[in-house]
Amino acid sequence: MPKSRRAAAPAPRRTRAKQVPDTAPVERVVRVELGEDPHAHIVCRNCGRIQGIELTELDRHTLTEIARRHPDGWSVDGIAFSATGACRRCREGPPS
C-alpha cells in the first residue's frame, strides 16, 4: 500500500530584494507516492502541484550519505529531497 504524507503550507520565503507571499491555503492534504528511497520532488508554493525529480546514482549516494549523519538516538526510515518553487501554470497565469 502506498504511503501518504500530509504537507503543510510552506512558510513565506524571504529574499534580500522582496518577500515572496505564500498564496497557498493554510493546510492541504497531498498524496505522494513514495516509491524508492531516496527520492526527490518539487512542490509548487502556489497551487501545491508536486512533480518528481529524477536522481542520478551519484545523487542517491549523496542523499544516503547525508542521512547517515543523523543525530544520536534518531533512526532514518526514508530519504527524500524536496524543492519548492512555482510551476509553469502558476508562473504564466491563466491563458489570455
18-77 tens-digit pLDDT:
344 444 444 444 444 555 689 999 999 999 999 999 999 999 999 999 999 999 999 999
Number of domain units in the chain: 1
Closest CA to 86 of 30, 10, 2: 10
Domain range for 52 = 5-88
CA angle 78, 84, 87 (to 5 degrees): 125
Considering the domain boundaries, does residue 36 fall inside one?
A: yes
Considering the domain boundaries, does residue 80 fall inside one?
A: yes
- pTM (2 decimals)? 0.57
**SS3 state at 6:** strand
Give the span between the Cα atoms of 41 and 57, in whole angstroms. 16
Give the span between the Cα atoms of 86 and 22, in whole angstroms. 11
What pLDDT, on the 0 to 100 scale, is given for residue 93? 85
